[in-house]
Amino acid sequence: MDPPNERHVGDLGNVEADNHGRAVFVVEDGIISVEDIIGRAVVIHAQEDDLGQGNNHLSKKTGNAGEAIVCGIIARSSGLFQNKKQICACDGTTLWEES
């Protein structure tokens, strides 16, 4: 994750996905806490955030990170490894996997 002095509140930095489109990361942050993000949206963009340093007119506004490709809401969970629901009841999609 990018250092706190290189991003704004709510910007969790750049995350790199593998060839299958999966990313595993742990966030330890001195700017926001877990309570600050519960119920908030998360957006993943198609490209790397240039941290406002690029020459594109969108650099200072959006980090020139491209279109939003995934959006979701951060929800409260049961405890660590206590949520047994791994498959969505609506369509059978795998929601998460323990590693």
Domains of the chain listed by start with CATH number: 1-99 (2.60.40.200)
pLDDT value of position 80: 63
| pLDDT tens digits along 87-98 | 777 777 776 666
Centre a 10 Å sphere on the Cβ of residue 35 and count the other Cβ atoms it contains: 8
44 has a pLDDT exceeding 70:
yes
6 has a pLDDT exceeding 70:
no
99 has a pLDDT exceeding 60:
no
pTM: 0.60
The two counts, helices (H) then strands (E), for the chain are 2, 2
Structure letter (DSSP) for residue 94: B
| Lowest model confidence (mean pLDDT) among 12-26, 40-54, 69-83 | 69-83
- SS3 of 68, please? strand
